[in-house]
Chains A and B, each alone.
Chain A
C-alpha cells in the first residue's frame, strides 16, 4: 500500500513521506494493514449495533426457559406457580379436546400444505415461460395470500360456504345439493383447507423466482436429445428446484401447525371440528387462565414442529439436490 504523497520537493518534504497525520483519529487503523486490523474497534461497534437485538433476545430467551418451567406447574396468574411435575403432560395424554385439536391440526396441515404447494408449483410453471401479462397474473394469484389470514376473509369464507352461500348456489346449477359446509362437522375443516389452498400465492412467487434461476441451456440440451416436456420437468425442473420446494415445505408446515385465526373466526366449528391446536391453547391459557397447561401445550407443539423439521432435514438428503 502506498500513500499518495505530495509532489516531491514542493515544500521540502521527501518523496514517499507518509502524510502528516492532520487527523490522528485512528492512527492504528491506517498503520497496520492486513487481517484483523480493526477487530477490537468493530467489536464495540458491532455490539452497539446489535444492542436493540440483544435486549429483544432477553425477551425471547428468558420467556423460552420460563415457559419450560411453567409447563411443569399449576399456574393461574393469581397464585404463585405450583410445581406439579409431569401432571400437565399426563393430563394431555387423556384430554379428549387436546386429541381433537391435534387431529384437526394434523389433518389440516397434511392435506392443505401439499395441495397448496402443488397448486403453487403448477401455476408457477404456467407463468414461467415468459407469459404475456405476467405481472397482472402474478398480482392476482399473490394477493389472496396476503389476505387469507385476516378476520375479514375468514368471515367472508363463512358466508360463501354458508348453507345458502355462493358455493352451494353454484353447485345448485348442476343439480347438486351442497352440504352445510360450515355447520356440518364433516365439512367445516374442508372449507378452511380450501381457504389455505386459495393462498398458494406466496410459495408460488418463490417458485417463480427459483424457476428463473434454472439455466435455460439445460432445457435446450434435453430438448435436442428428444426429452419430452414431462421428462424435462422430472429430470431438470424438479431436482434443480428441490431446495426451494424444501424451503417452502418447511415454511408452510411451520406456519400451518400454528393456525389460529381461521379456527377462532369459525368459533371452533361445529363439534369442535375446527378446534386448532393453538385455538385450544388460547382457550386453556386465556379463557380458563390455565397457564401451566397452556405452556405445556406450547412446548409440545414446539417438539412436534422440531420433530417434523428434523425429519424433513433428514429426508432432504435423499431428495433435495444442491447444485454446487
Chain B
C-alpha cells in the first residue's frame, strides 16, 4: 500500500560515528536477554503442555524429558463441553464482531473525516470523550436493559454494540487514516457524479483497507480475549467462549491436571499468536498512528 507508510529508518551521522562494534554487541546481548525473559513464560507453557504431569514442576528444562501429547486429547474433553464447542462459539462471536465494527465504524469514520455537516465538531468531541469513559459506568443500566429485552444468556449483548459503532477507538483510527487521503479524491468523484455513498464505497473504502485490517486484527484479539462481558451475560456452558471455559480450571482448585490446563491455555492463545504473526505490520502501524496524532 503506497499510503501512510512511515519512512524507512535511516542511519544517521551520529549513529555511524558513535557505533563501535562492541557497543553493538552489547546492545544485542541485552535485547536477547530481555527477549528471552519475556518469552520464557510462554515457552514454559508450551513445554508443560506436552510434559507428563509429574514432570511439570520438577523438570525446569524447556525441552521435555518425556513427551505426553495426551494432555491435548484429554484436555479437549476435560471441561463441561468438548473444547470444540468453546472454540466455535468464540469464532462466531469474533467474526460477527469484526463485521460489525468494520461496517459501523467505517461509516461513522467517513462521516467524521470527509463530510461537513452541522454539529460535526460537537459529535466528534463526544466520540473522543466516550473513548476515555470507563466501561463500568454504563455496565449496570446496560445490563438491566439487556435483561429487560430478554437478551441475557444470548450473544446479543456481546454483538449488537459492535454493530452500533460503540468502539470509538476504531472510529478514531479510521478517521486518522481517512484524513490522510487527499481531499481531491472526493472532489474528483463528485465531479464524476458520485454521491457521498458511492464515493465512500468506490473511492474511500478500497484505499482504507490497511486501516480495516488493523481494526479487524485488533477486534479479533480483544474480542477473543474478552472475559468480563461473557462472564456476566452467559450462563449456559454450551454458550461459553474459550476464556470463560478456561475459568473452570480456576474453580477446580487443588486439581492436578496441569498438563491439560496448559494444553488448553495454549490452544486459547494460539489463534491470537497466529493473527499477530500474520498481521503484525498492521497492528504496529495502527497503534503507532493512534498514539502519535
Q: Which residues of B contact A150 (CB under 8 A)?
A: 225, 227, 243, 268-269, 272
B243 touches A151 (CB 8 A): yes
Max chain B CB contacts within 10 Å: which of A150, A210, A213? Answer: A150
Indicate if A142 sits at the interface (CB-CB under 8 A): yes
A33-75 with Cβ < 8 A to chain B = 38-39, 42-43, 45-47, 49-53, 55-57, 59-60, 62-64, 66-67, 70
Using Cβ atoms and an 8 Å threshold, which residues of chain A touch B165?
Answer: 52-53, 56
| In the complex, per-residue mask of A136-170: 1 if CB is within 8 Å of any chain B CB, else 0 | 01111111101101111101110110101110011
If A60-B138, A219-B14 touch, whether A155 touches B284 (CB-CB below 8 Å) is no
Interface size on B, residues (CB 8 A): 100
Does more than half of chain A's interface fall in helix, strand or loop, or is it mixed? helix
Asked if B254 lies at the interface with its beta carbon under 8 angstroms from chain A, I say no
Set A43, A51, A59, A144: member contacting B117, Cβ < 8 A: A43
Query: How far is A42 from B136 in the complex, measured between Cα atoms in Å?
Result: 36
| Residue of B138, B141, B261 ringed by the most chain A CB atoms within 10 A | B141
Q: Which secondary structure dominates where chain B touches chain A?
A: helix
Residues of A within 8 A of B (CB): 23, 25, 29, 38-39, 42-43, 45-47, 49-53, 55-57, 59-60, 62-64, 66-67, 70, 77, 123, 126-127, 129-132, 134-135, 137-144, 146-147, 149-153, 155-157, 159-160, 162, 164-166, 169-170, 198, 202, 205-206, 208-210, 212-213, 216, 219-220, 223, 229, 244, 247-248, 254, 257-258, 260-261, 264-265, 267, 278, 281-282, 285-286, 291, 294-295, 298-299, 301-302, 305, 309
The contact sample of 5 A-B pairs, CB cut-off 8 A, is: A131-B31, A147-B272, A151-B250, A162-B57, A202-B287
B residues engaging A (CB < 8 A)?
Answer: 6-7, 9-15, 17-19, 27-28, 30-31, 34-35, 38-42, 44-45, 57, 60, 103-104, 107-108, 110-112, 115-118, 120, 123, 126-127, 130, 132-145, 147, 161, 163-166, 171, 190, 193, 195-197, 200, 221, 225, 227-228, 231-232, 243, 246-247, 249-250, 258, 261-262, 265-266, 268-269, 272-273, 276-277, 280, 283-284, 287-289, 291-292
